[in-house]
Amino acid sequence: MDLVVGASNDAVESLVSKLGSLLAQEYTLIGGVRDDIQYINDELASMQAFLNRLKQEAKHDEQRQDWMKQVREVAYDIEDCVDNAGHRLSREPRGSGKLASLRRAWYLLTTLYARHCIATEISNLKVRAQHVSERRTRYGVENPARLDISSEGPYVPIDHPAPPPQLIGTVAPVGIEDAKEELEPWFMEANKQSANDQLRFLVIVGFGGLGKTTLAMALYRAYGDEFDCRASVLASQKFHLLTVLRSLIKQFHNQQAGASQNDIEGIEERGLEDLKKQLSDQLKEKRYHILIDDIWSVSAWESIRDSFPKTRKGGSIVATTRFKSVAEACRRQKGDVHELKPLNDGNSYKLFRQIISTAPNVPTDGAKALLKKCGGLPLAIILVAGLVSSKLRLNTSRQQGGTYELKPYHDGTSYKLFRQIMSDPNVPTDVARGLLKKYVEENPGIISTAPNVPADVARGLLKNKSQAGNNISEQLEECLAQVGKDLGEELEKNLSTEGVKHIVNHCYYQLPADLKTCLLYLSMFPKGCLISRKRLIRRWIAEGFISEKHGKTVEEVAEDYFNELISRNLIGAVNSSSNGKVKSCQVHDMVLEYIVVKSSDENFITVVGGHWHTPFPSYKVRRLSVQKSDSQEKKTVERMKLSHVRSLTALGSFKALDSTLSKFQILQVLDLESCKDLSLKNHLEIICDMHQLKYLSLRGTDIESAPKEIGRLEYLQHMVHLLAGSKSKRMGLTLTEGITKMTDLQTLSGVEICGSSANNAANSGINKEVESAQARAMITRTKDADDYSVDRQCKNYLRCKAASSGLDKGLRSLENLTNLKKLTVYRLRAFTERDNILLLSAIEHLSSCSLKFLAVDDDFTGFLDSSLNASQAPPEHLHTLGLTGMLSQVPDWISSLHNLEKLTLSLTSLKESTLMVLSELPELFSLIFTLDSTKKKPSVLQILHKNAMESGGEIFVVDGGFEKLKLLRFAAPMLPPLSFLEGAMPKLESLELRFITVEGISGLENLSSLRQVLLTVSSQAPGVAKAKVSEIKALASMNPKHPSVVVDEYNEI
C-alpha cells in the first residue's frame, strides 16, 4: 500500500523546526543531550530533503513505503519526547545574585530526575534515527531515477486562484428525472392505500456510484410533504438496529410541536423492545415516510422491516442497497424493487460537459471514448471529469503569462475604447465582453498601469485570445487521451463497484502528496456528515499539514487546497454562505470508504464505531475518531495505547472516552462538537492539562464556563464554542480568567467573557437594562502581535455588564485592538450620549486600521441613525457590514464602500431611495434585510408603512445597478409589497423570503438570471399568507429561466 508521503514530510518538517526551538531554549540538559538533539536534527533535515524529492512521484515500491513509514513513526516519537520535555522542564530561572542562584539550584535539584529520563529517551531516539538513516542505503532506497509523468508535481497554490463567489443552487442531477417519473406511480399508489393500514416497501438496487442515494433523496424531497412525518437514516456495512431506531426516534421527536426533551432522555440506554414501542407510539395515527440508505445484508433488511408499526394511515419505506440479495428478499416479501440503470450516452456526455464548463469546446470523440470507460456511472463520470479539468487547468497555467504587453494610451477613455471594440463588426459582442473581462480579471495589474489601451491593440488581444481558446481545446483533447490511457482498458469490461473503486484509486494517486494527506484526513468524519469548511481548514493547519508557500499565508494555502479538492470532485460542495464561499462539504460514500480503508492501512487515522469494518490498529494510535459511543466502542478504546494520540474527534457522545480522557497527554487537536455529556469538573479540568493543544472545539456542547486553569493551554490557536439555547436565553462559554495567558490564540469563538464589573453591577443592584455593549464575535489573534480580530458568525460574546465606569473602560479598550478585523456589537440598550461617542470613536479608529467586518445591532438607542450616520471617518475598507435594529435610513457614507461584498440591513431601512444608493456598490454580492420577530413593535410597523407609502404604497426595484448582486434575502415577520421592474438586478440568482405575513411580490419574471426562490413560512402564518405562497410560485413559473421554487416551514422559538 502507498504511504502518505505528505504526512511523513509534514511530520519531519514540523519536527525540524521544533528541534531548533528546543536547542535555543535555555534548558540545563544532562551532559551530551544537546549534541544528541543536534545530531537528530541534522539527520531529519537530510531525510526531509529526500522526502521532498519523493513527493514528486505518484507511487512507490514496497521498500520506499516501509522506509517512509519508519521515518514518520520515529519523527512522531521524537516530537512526543520534545513536547514532553517542554512540559516537564519549565523555564529555568535566570539572573544574578544570591536569590537567583538559590532558585536555579532548586530548579536543577527538582528537575534532575525529569532531565535524566529525557536524556535517556533522547539517546534511544538518536539510535533509532541513525538506524533509519542507515536502512535507506542498506536496502537500496535511493533517490528517484525520474519523475513519473503521469503524476502531478508539487502543488503550487499561486497557480490556482480561489474561485469567484457563487451560490450553490438546487439544480437537479443529470438523468434523475426519468427515474423519478418511473417511480411516481408507486408513490401515488402508496397515497391511495394509506387508509387501509398498508405499509409499502421499495428497494432501489444498483452498484456503488450509480446514484441510488441521489435518486432516493430526490424522491424524499419531492413526495415527503405528502406524509405527516418523514425521516432518513444510514445503515451501512456495520449495521446496528439500535442506532437506526434511535436516529429515527430523535428525528420524529424534533418534528413534534411542543415535544419535551424529557421524551428522549436516556434513549442511549434503552433496549430494543422499548425503542420499538416508542417508535410505534410516535407514529400512531400518522402516515409516515422513511428512507433507509445503504443496506448491506438480508438480515439487516429483515430486522429493519420488522421494526416499523402498521398504523391506521399506513406508510412507505424506501431503501437503497448495492446487493441484489437484499432486493430479492424485499420482492419475496411482496415489496417492490427498482433496479437503477446507468446513464445513457447523451446524459453521460451532458454530465461530463457540465463539469468541464471552462473549456469552449469539448472534443466529442475523445470524450465519448473516455466516458465509455465510465459505463454511465455518475460518480465515475464526475471524478474523471474533475481529473481532466484539473489537468487542463495545470497545463493552461503553465502556458500563460507574459504573452501581451499593453502600454498606456492617453488619447481617449476606457469607455470610448469599449465602445470602439463593441462596434467592430469583426469582433462578436459576447466574445469581446467575455474575453476582455476574463483577461482583466486574470491580469489585474493592467488596470493600474494601462487604464487606456488603443483599440487596435485590444482587437489583437481578442484575436490572440481566440486562438488561445483553440489551444485550450487541443489541450483538452490531449488530457482526455492521457486520462483514458492511464485508466486502462480493463474498465470497459468491469463496469461495477470495483470499476468505480479503480477510478477513485487512480484519482487519489494523481493527487500531489500534500493533497493526499488533506483528503485522507476527511476520514475523521462519518458517512453523511456535513463538514464545515472553516472547521476542516483550521484542523488541517493545527495538524501541521499546511505551510506557507509562494508568499501566501497558511490560511490562504489551506483555502487553495480545499478549493482544489472541490474542483477535482473528490469532495462535494453542499451549500454556500451568503458571501458566496463554500460553507460545508460532503464526501461521497464510495470515496469515503476508500479513504477510511487507506487511512487505516497506513495508520494515519483510526476510526472507532464507523460505518465500515477496519482492523484493530497494530501500531501506535496517532489520530483517533470515535464516531459511536456504545459499550462495544468503549471497550475498543480502552484496549488501545492512547499516550501517542495527537488528534481526537468524538462525535455526538463522549461516553466511549469518559474513563480514558486523562491518557491523552500530547493532544494537539481535540474536537468534541455536539458532545452533550461533557461536564466542567470531570472533563474540562482534565482538558486544561493538555498543554500541547492547538485546536479545541466545544461547539454545541453544554459547557457554559471554563476554569481559570484554561490559561495553561498556552499553545492553543483555535477555541470554538457555539451558543446554545433559545433566542432569549443564549449560553456562551464563560472565561473569567486565564485568557491572557493563551498567547498563541488565533480563534476564540462562542465565548462569554464577563469582566469584574459584572459582579459590581450585581452587588450594587443595577438593573439588567444597563447591560452594555456586547461584542458577539470570533476573536482572532495574529501570530506576531498581541491583538485580536472578531468574527460575528461564530457568535462569541464579549460581555461587559457594568456601571458607567466599567462600560467606559470596555469601550475605550476596543481602540487598542488595532489589528481587529471583525467586530460585532449587539443589543445596544440604555446608551448615554457619552457611550455613543466612545463606541463611535472606537469604530472609527479600528476602521482606519484592519477592520473588514462590522455589525451593529441597535436596540432602539438611536446610535445607528445619529452617531454612526454622522461619522467623519467611514469604514471604507469593509467587506461585510451589518446594521440591524432601529435603522430608519442607511448612512450617508455607505456609497463610499467600494469593497463591500455582503450587506445586512434592518428592514426598517427598506425603501426605494435606499435601493437606489445600494445599487451603485460595485462589489456587492449579497443583500439581506432582516428584522427580529421580537421587535415587531408599533413604531416599527409605522416605519415600514411609511417607507412603502413614499413610493405609492409599493417598493420598486428599478433597472440598472447591482452588477454583481446574486443573493437577495428578506427575513422578517412581515414583508412589505415589493415589485421588480424590467432590468432590475440583472445578476440576481437567488431570492429568499422568510416571513409570517407578506403583502405581495411582483415582477419575478423580470429577474433575468433568477435560478431559485426559497420561501420559508412561519408555522404561525395566517391562511392569507400561505395563499400568497401559491401566488409567488405562479409568478416564478413565468420567469423565462424557470427557477426552482422551494417551500419550507419554520417554528418560532
Q: What is the mean pLDDT of residues 138-153?
A: 53
**Alpha carbon of residue 619 to chain centroid:** 31
For the beta carbon of residue 384, count every other beta carbon within 10 angstroms.
26
pLDDT of the residue at 396: 67
Q: Which residue has the higher pLDDT, 789 or 722?
A: 722
Query: What is the chain's alpha carbon radius of gyration, rounded to the nearest angstrom?
Result: 31
Q: Which residue has the higher pLDDT, 172 or 853?
A: 853
Note the maximum CA span of the chain: 95
pLDDT of the residue at 423: 45
pLDDT of the residue at 451: 41
> What is the DSSP track for 673-692?
TT-TT--IIIIIHHHTT-TT
Band the pLDDT of 370: cuts 50, 70, 90.
Answer: confident
Q: Which of 166-180, 258-272, 452-466, 609-623 is least confident?
A: 452-466
Q: Which residue has the higher pLDDT, 539 or 760?
A: 539
At 406-415, the pLDDT tens digits run: 333 333 333 3
- Reply yes or no on whether the pLDDT at 953 is more than 60: yes
Band the pLDDT of 980: cuts 50, 70, 90.
Answer: very high
Q: Are 439 and 461 in contact (CB under 8 A)?
A: yes
Give the full edge-to-edge strand order of the sheet including 606-608. 606-608, 623-626, 647-650, 669-671, 695-697, 718-720, 747-749, 778-781, 788-790
Alpha helices in 639-735 (DSSP H): 685-687
Band the pLDDT of 158: cuts 50, 70, 90.
Answer: very low
- Reply yes or no on whether the pLDDT at 796 is more than 50: no
At 530-570, the pLDDT tens digits run: 999 989 998 998 888 888 887 888 888 999 999 999 989 99
Q: Are 852 and 878 in contact (CB under 8 A)?
A: yes
| d(C-alpha 421, C-alpha 459), whole Å | 7
Q: Which residue has the higher pLDDT, 628 or 767?
A: 628
Q: Which residue has the higher pLDDT, 826 or 744?
A: 826
Q: Which three cell numbers stand for residue 44?
A: 531529519
pLDDT of the residue at 398: 59
pLDDT of the residue at 755: 31
- Reply yes or no on whether the pLDDT at 271 is more than 90: no
- Reply yes or no on whether the pLDDT at 312 is more than 80: no
Q: Which of 126-130, 322-326, 765-769, 871-875 is least confident?
A: 765-769
Q: Are 717 and 745 in contact (CB under 8 A)?
A: yes
- Reply yes or no on whether the pLDDT at 34 is more than 70: no
Place of cell 445597478: 961
What sign has the CA pseudo-torsion 691, 711, 722, 687? Answer: positive
Which of 312-326, 818-832, 842-856, 1038-1052 is most confident?
A: 312-326
Which of 28-32, 501-505, 845-849 is most confident?
A: 501-505
Q: What is the mean pLDDT of residues 887-902?
A: 89
Q: Are 935 and 826 in contact (CB under 8 A)?
A: no
pLDDT of the residue at 292: 93
pLDDT of the residue at 238: 81
- Reply yes or no on whether the pLDDT at 1050 is more than 70: yes
Any idea what the Cα angle at residue 951 is, between residues 948 and 952, rounded to 5°?
85
pLDDT of the residue at 172: 62
Q: Which three cell numbers stand for residue 277?
A: 414501542
At 84-98, the pLDDT tens digits run: 666 666 555 666 777
| d(C-alpha 59, C-alpha 1016), whole Å | 51
Percent of the chain with pLDDT over 70: 68
Q: Are 973 and 997 in contact (CB under 8 A)?
A: yes
| d(C-alpha 88, C-alpha 78), whole Å | 15
DSSP state of 712: G
Please state the φ and ψ torsions of residue 764, each to the nearest 5 degrees: -85, 0
| d(C-alpha 569, C-alpha 356), whole Å | 12
Q: Which residue has the higher pLDDT, 1049 or 765?
A: 1049
Which of 130-134, 141-145, 663-667, 1005-1009 is most confident?
A: 1005-1009
Q: Which residue has the higher pLDDT, 37 or 229?
A: 229
Q: What is the mean pLDDT of residues 797-812?
A: 43
Q: What is the mean pLDDT of residues 842-854?
A: 81
At 810-839, the pLDDT tens digits run: 566 567 666 667 777 766 665 677 777 777
pLDDT of the residue at 779: 30
- Does the global pTM surpass 0.85? no
Give the full edge-to-edge strand order of the sheet including 315-321. 229-236, 288-295, 315-321, 199-205, 336-339
pLDDT of the residue at 806: 43
pLDDT of the residue at 793: 31
Band the pLDDT of 446: cuts 50, 70, 90.
Answer: very low
| d(C-alpha 987, C-alpha 975), whole Å | 23
Q: Which of 314-318, 752-756, 915-919, 1038-1042 is least confident?
A: 752-756
Place of cell 455588564: 801
Q: What is the mean pLDDT of residues 797-821?
A: 51
CATH 1.10.10 is the classification of domain 514-588 = yes
Q: What is the mean pLDDT of residues 791-795?
A: 31
Q: What is the mean pLDDT of residues 496-506?
A: 83
pLDDT of the residue at 923: 92
Q: Which three cell numbers stand for residue 1024?
A: 392569507
- Reply yes or no on whether the pLDDT at 15 is more than 90: no
Please give the mean pLDDT across all residues of the chain. 74
For the beta carbon of residue 364, count every other beta carbon within 10 angstroms.
10
Please state the φ and ψ torsions of residue 263, each to the nearest 5 degrees: -65, -25
| d(C-alpha 821, C-alpha 473), whole Å | 43
Q: Let me know if 415 is exposed, middle or buried by CB neighbors in 10 A (0-12, 13-18, 19+).
A: exposed
**Alpha carbon of residue 211 to chain centroid:** 24
Q: Which residue has the higher pLDDT, 560 or 13?
A: 560
- Reply yes or no on whether the pLDDT at 909 is more than 80: yes
Which of 61-75, 172-186, 710-724 is most confident?
A: 172-186
pLDDT of the residue at 532: 92
CA dihedral 465, 471, 472, 476 (to 10 degrees): 170
Strand, helix or coil at 535?
helix
Band the pLDDT of 709: cuts 50, 70, 90.
Answer: confident
| d(C-alpha 359, C-alpha 323), whole Å | 38
Q: Which residue has the higher pLDDT, 198 or 171?
A: 198
CATH 3.40.50.300 is the classification of domain 176-339 = yes
Which of 123-137, 299-313, 467-481, 807-821 is most confident?
A: 299-313
Band the pLDDT of 937: cuts 50, 70, 90.
Answer: low
Which of 218-232, 242-256, 524-538, 943-957 is most confident?
A: 524-538
Band the pLDDT of 417: cuts 50, 70, 90.
Answer: very low
Q: What is the mean pLDDT of residues 54-71?
A: 68
- Reply yes or no on whether the pLDDT at 256 is more than 80: no
Q: What is the mean pLDDT of residues 763-778?
A: 29
Three-class SS of 708-740: HHHHHCCCCCEEECCCECCCCCCECEEECCCHH
- Reply yes or no on whether the pLDDT at 717 is more than 70: no
Alpha helices in 55-111 (DSSP H): 62-88, 98-110
